[in-house]
Structure 1
Amino acid sequence: MDAGSGGQLALGVLVQHRMATTEQIHRVSALEVRIEQSRRRLARLCAEGLVD
């Protein structure tokens, strides 16, 4: 996995909750950055086949 620490945190949140919107993941894991960064992290996880 090469999604960076933010991506790892997002993946951890999804493992715990099974389903979450991009905004929910952003609020839990990355409020210090803009939501676009969260979208990019989730897109990388999706490209790696780790989330859908």
Structure 2
Amino acid sequence: MTAWPCARSDIVSELRAAGFSPSVRTVAVATSSGLSLWTRATDDGPSGGVLE
């Protein structure tokens, strides 16, 4: 398996998995240091934030 480093200024993590929700409004990215979720805005409200 190839490691894909995900760099931030203070953390370097290995990408573990990424994918979209069935509605294709949310993307999840799992690294060796955490899980992040991003939600696209809908017509009736603002987008969600990042869950870490």
Q: More relative contact order in 1 or in 2 (CA 8 Å, sep 6+)?
A: 1
Greater strand share, structure number: 2
| TM-score bracket, shorter-length normalisation | under 0.3
**TM-score where L is the length of structure 1:** 0.20
Greater helix share, structure number: 1
**TM-score where L is the length of structure 2:** 0.20
Between structure 1 and structure 2, the one with the greater Rg is 2
